[in-house]
Amino acid sequence: MAEAEAEAEGWVLPQAVEQLIEQICREQNQTPPGTEVRQELALLGEEEAVNLLRIIAASTIKKTLSAFIMYMIRKPKQPHSNNNHTPSPHKVPRVSPLHTPSSPSPSAPASQSQDRPVTQSTIPERWSQASLTSPNGYLRGDSFSSSLENAVSPKLAAWGELEFRKAFLILSYIGENQLEHVDISADEIRSLKHLGMVDFEERVWKALGQKYTINYEDRRRTLDWDMKKTHIYHCHVSLDGKYKFKGPYLHKTKTHLQRVLGDENVLVVKFAEEVADRRQLDISWDSYSMYNKIASEGIVVGFYRYRFFVFKDGGKEEKKKDPTSSSVKCFFIRKESIEMIYEARSLFMHAHRLPSVANYMARFSLILSKTTKLEVDLASVNIQRIEDVLCTDQEGKVVYEKPEKPRIHTDGTGFISEDLALICGNNVHRGERSRDENIATNPSIVELESNLLAMQRQESKAQEPPLLIQFRLFNNGCAVKGTLLVNKKLPPRTIQVRPSMIKVETDPKLSNIRTVNSLEIVGTSNQPKKAYLSRNLIALLSYGGVPKEYFMDILSNALSDAHGVFSNKGAALRVSFNHGEMDDFSVARMILSGIPLDESYLQHRLSILMKEEKKSLKGGKLHVPECYYLMGTVDPTGLLESDEVCVILDYGQISGKVLVYRNPGLHFGDIHVLKATYVKALESFIGNAKFAIFFPCKGPRSLGDEIAGGDFDGDMYWVSRNPQLLEHFKVSEPWTPSYSVHKVPNNAIPLKKPTDFSSMELEQELFKLFLSTRFQPSYAVGVAADSWLALMDRLLILGDDCTEEKVRVKANILKLIDIYYDALDAPKKGGQKIEVPRELKAELFPHYMERDNSFNSTSILGLIYDTVNKYQTEDQSMKEVRKLPCFDVEVPEACMEKWKEHYEQYRQDMTAALQNGCEGKNEAADEVIKKYKMILYGATDFEERKRGIDEVYNEALAIYHVTYDYANHRRDAKYCFFVWRIASSALLNLYAKKQDERSFVCLRSVLREIFN
């Protein structure tokens, strides 16, 4: 196969070379080298390639033939070599763009590069003096020696023999110190390389981490090293160019970038902010000079060089994860030269053909979406292009948004055959397949019949393909983004995409350059979770005529329900499910297992959930029945009229009027009243697939576009069939884009196309763009949104006698909406900077926004905030901690002593894990919990226990007594946390046995469906 590929690409080797390869493979049981390695051999010439292979034939190959060949090719030539071939001193060996001495081919196993022994003689020949230095000094002494052997210390040579994640962990644990200056020898490093990761981490932490790492949270202790998780490697760079490494962090999801290059070839780089406020200054190539130097020279990690590759602004979602850190994430990859970076980008897509540098990076960042790969050979898939459905007027003429840009009904959505959709499977969200976990429930709380019916529905749904698939397709340099609707009419193994979905076209000039082709799944149209209102949506509904009393009634019921959590199991269970992600549904498990509501720890946790419930309610997060968030697409039958939609829920298509809205809509007309219509013909396309809203493909403008500028590449639409909302709401004219928004010149982004630059110039422009995005972010979206809410609040308060002021306020609101929508789209439309004019910026804000410069609002949002604030709840923590009678039994003394020691150590471990910062804090706490679960169960949970059931019960009871005694001593039930996070499954199982009642299993999604 490798020979056939090589021949197809023109890398046919001489017969003498082929014979030697065949001989080595036969004698040493090796796999023939791949295309990239054969290319390197061809570039050497026959004589040198034969000499090299003869040396290999006489040696013992410890890893792979490919790795050994590349090692020999890159091995520096000795000054007094007997080799007859004497290369020119200026000769630079040619390399494949997909393979470097420090980076394996993307198709090679990750372990191939991780396990490759690195010694003095393996430093790539092309590394110059500059490339053998780094701010941390990992590859240099005080002066550079002409001898490469003198440049590499014994410590670094030993470090290079480690598996990459082990080697990186050492650098992570020495902080900003140089490897040469820390207290560990080369022999000690080598003595660790055969340890498993758990033992390796423990040893290195004790030897280095405790001495050189300031924060305990930087410790990477985990039991999941070998669970096939993604390894994320971080580098934090300071303004003076020094850097320290952190990681590896383990994640469940993976990006296309990581999947193609391998985890060890991707470095997440964070650049420190300058102390001075630079918001009003322009970023130039001379600003942040050390960062520019790193961009041009790369970051050296041991023997490996990483260079700037791609960045992405994660926006609000990324900011929520860590409010103290920038939402802009920057990625370097392991490549030696800038020219190779340019070529590596072509491995993913041919983004250089895009019209601007900003557009180039915006589209290239598609490789950073968290996805799961569809395991199918794209070469066997028929990927067809079909036309978009254009918007037309009553006379059938195409309607244009602006010259040469027609309006489109089908923006972002295509089709996929049923067989491929079935391979994708259901319940994918942000690149991760969700697992519906079981919860042991008590039949006295939830009726068995309801659960069994719901479980039967769950089983029938599992046999259907997902109705819609949000995806990224990378194929022969082309990048496609959008959704695919399952289409039973398509022949097997067929995908149909439209021009509106194609974000990057293939460059015909690069047709012979290899690309990594893949269909990546971001998410599927899943069963909608409980839907809530937001402040924006309440404001728009209120403006549309929904009376204050309606919202206050909902709030009153929610507060009454919340008040009953301490006495009513149904109310307590609803609240526990609303906030179940906070504690992995532990409160719900306790309630469903029959633990009385007055139990001390349960009362404490319900108090916490109550506070969270109040916080949500204050922010307008009100649950309205019969509302859903559904992924949008277009009617494939063409039967829906311009004011109709088709809505498919769990029981099929619904009929009647519905409200439709899309976050983050701000315009008065962003809420539409439409007619949900049954379309029989649709079933021949989708069968019984569920959960989506279909928009018509008739009329002069797409309904999706009318709703806050939406499209169908994965946008979620709020759909309500609530009769009270429909009764009161009056529609407004839909939003129409304006092109007179306030744009300002952005000198950091040139108007030239990427193809107008050399590879070096393009890298500079891309890094300039990163610096501008990272250190001079646009605040227009946030400023416009906040000012909109302040003005909207004013509009809601004004009476009918304030006509002139209403007109003025509304006019300013409309201007802010245009600016807001334009700022949202700016990154993918050329990167134009948007500003909010001073006269439109709010000076005072309603008090519920909790700003210093505020006024007391009497709008519906102010009333909601004040009502919740007045609602007082009793803190259930600081009370006597009582034990459950059925657990107040004698426990073997040995168990008690064992867990007294463990509990004391646990408090130290958890304190250290939570004491610093945001990043990794939850992960560090989870690792502490996992450690003690392993001690109790011999596994990570009760169901997978490796120890005897009686032994587990005794120790669970011991943990219970030790923890509750300590909590009672401190008179605070929060200290009971340990036992219910570690031993809850064992205790709840034991409790059920002691009650002489049988429990049964229920899916979490079933309970969510019932309580919604």
Domain ranges of the chain: 1-94, 95-348, 627-728, 777-870, 877-1012
The confidence score (pLDDT) of residue 626 equals 95
**What is the tens place of the pLDDT at every residue in 476-528?**
999 999 999 999 999 999 999 999 999 999 999 988 888 999 999 999 999 99
d(CA 991, CA 812): 62
Q: What is the mean pLDDT of the chain?
A: 82
| Model confidence band, residue 563 (pLDDT cutoffs 50, 70, 90) | confident
- Type of residue at 61: I
Distance (Å, whole) CA 639 – CA 682: 9
Q: What is the dihedral of CA 939, 942, 948, 952, to 10 degrees?
A: 100
**Whole-number Cα distances in Å, 43 to 70, 74, 191, 544, 598:** 12, 13, 39, 72, 78
Query: Among residues of the chain, what percentage have pLDDT more than 70?
Result: 81
* Pairwise CA distance, residues 728 & 575, whole Å: 29
- Quote the distance between the C-alpha of residue 416 and its chain's center: 25
When pLDDT is averaged across residues 896-904 and rounded to a whole number, the result is 94
CA 703 to CA 657: how far, in whole Å? 15
Interatomic CA distance for residues 970 and 528, integer angstroms = 43
How much of the chain exceeds pLDDT 90, in percent? 50
Does domain 627-728 sit in CATH 2.40.40.20?
A: yes
Q: Which of 384-393, 736-745, 775-784 has the lowest mean pLDDT?
A: 736-745
The pLDDT-based confidence of 118 (bands split at 50, 70, 90) is very low
- The pLDDT value recorded for residue 43 is 73
Check if the beta carbon of residue 250 is closer than 8 Å to that of residue 961: no
Instruction: Report strand pairing: 413-417 vs 478-487.
Output: parallel
Cβ distance 171 to 245 under 8 Å? yes
Instruction: pLDDT band for 143, please (50, 70, 90 cuts).
Output: very low
Q: Give pLDDT, residue 142.
A: 28
C-beta atoms surrounding 169 within 10 Å: 25
Q: Which two tokens stand for residue 417?
A: 């055959």
Q: In the predicted model, is pLDDT for residue 216 greater than 80? A: no
pLDDT at 286: 54
On whether the CB atoms of residues 951 and 891 are closer than 8 A, the answer is no
442 or 166, higher pLDDT: 166
* C-beta separation of 71 from 116 below 8 A: yes
> How far, in whole angstroms, is CA 864 from its chain's centroid?
33
Cα separation, 779 vs 673, whole angstroms: 33
In the chain, count H helices and then E strands: 37, 32
CB contact at 8 A, 647 and 689: no
pLDDT at 35: 73
Q: Is the pLDDT of residue 872 over 80?
A: no
- CB-count exposure of residue 303 (10 Å: 0-12, 13-18, 19+): buried
Examine the pLDDT at 1000 and tell me if it is beyond 70: no
Sign of the torsion angle spanned by Cα atoms 526, 532, 534, 536: positive
Instruction: Say which residues have a Cβ less than 8 Å from residue 498's Cβ, sequence separation at least 6.
Output: 385, 386, 387, 388, 410, 413, 414, 482
Cα–Cα dist 183/385, whole Å: 62
Mean pLDDT of 44-56: 81
Across the range 736-759, mean pLDDT stands at 68
Q: Does the pLDDT of residue 131 top 70, yes or no?
A: no
Distance CA 614, CA 607 (A): 11
Q: Quick one: which of 905, 913, 911, 908 has its CA closest to 218?
A: 913
What is the model's pLDDT at position 13? Answer: 78
Assess contact for 454 and 1010: CB atoms under 8 A: yes
Strands 478-487 and 502-504: antiparallel
Q: Answer whether 0.85 is exceeded by the pTM.
A: no
Tell me the β-bridge partners of 909: none
In degrees, rounded to 5, the angle at the alpha carbon of residue 465 between the alpha carbons of residues 254 and 429 is 30
Q: What are phi and psi of 131, to 5 degrees?
A: -80, -10
Specify the pLDDT at position 916.
47
Confidence at 833, pLDDT banded by 50, 70, 90 = confident
Give Cβ neighbours of residue 362 (< 8 Å, ≥ 6 apart): 827, 828, 831
DSSP-derived secondary structure letter, 623:
B
Of residues 343 and 103, more confidence is placed in 343
The mean pLDDT of 226-236, rounded to a whole number, is 89
- For 796, list phi and psi in degrees, rounded to 5: -70, -25
Instruction: Write down the pLDDT at residue 136.
Output: 34
| pLDDT recorded at residue 682 | 97
Report d(CA 777, CA 83) in Å as an integer: 57
Grouping H, G, I as helix, E, B as strand and the rest as coil, residue 512 is: coil
SS3 994: helix
At 283-317, the pLDDT tens digits run: 554 556 788 888 888 999 988 899 999 999 887 66
Alpha-helical runs (H) found in 915-983: 921-937, 949-970, 977-982
Q: Please give the pLDDT value at position 612.
A: 86
- How many angstroms separate the CA atoms of 16 and 19, rounded? 5
Cα atoms in the Cβ-side hemisphere of radius 13 Å centred on 426: 19
Q: What is the mean pLDDT of residues 179-197?
A: 93
Mean of the pLDDT values across residues 893-919? 80
The mean pLDDT of 2-10, rounded to a whole number, is 39
Q: Give 96's pLDDT tier (boundaries 50, 70, 90).
A: very low
pLDDT at 651 over 80: yes
Quick check: 999 pLDDT over 90? no
Strand, helix or coil for residue 491: coil
| Phi–psi pair at 674, nearest 5 degrees | -130, 165
Range with the poorest average pLDDT among 52-66, 504-518, 562-576, 734-748: 734-748
Give the separation between CA 871 and CA 61, rounded to whole angstroms.
74
| Residue 105 binned pLDDT confidence (cut-offs 50, 70, 90) | very low
The predicted structure's pLDDT at residue 285:
47
pLDDT at 952 over 80: yes
- Distance between CA 760 and CA 341 in Å, rounded? 10
Mean pLDDT for the stretch of residues 340-364: 91
Q: What is the pLDDT of residue 610?
A: 87
* pLDDT tens-place string over residues 775-819: 888 889 999 999 999 999 999 999 888 899 999 999 999 999 999
Q: Is 247:231 a contact under the CB 8 Å cutoff?
A: yes
- Which of 53-62, 407-416, 800-809 comes out lowest in average pLDDT? 53-62
Range with the poorest average pLDDT among 568-577, 706-715, 751-760: 568-577
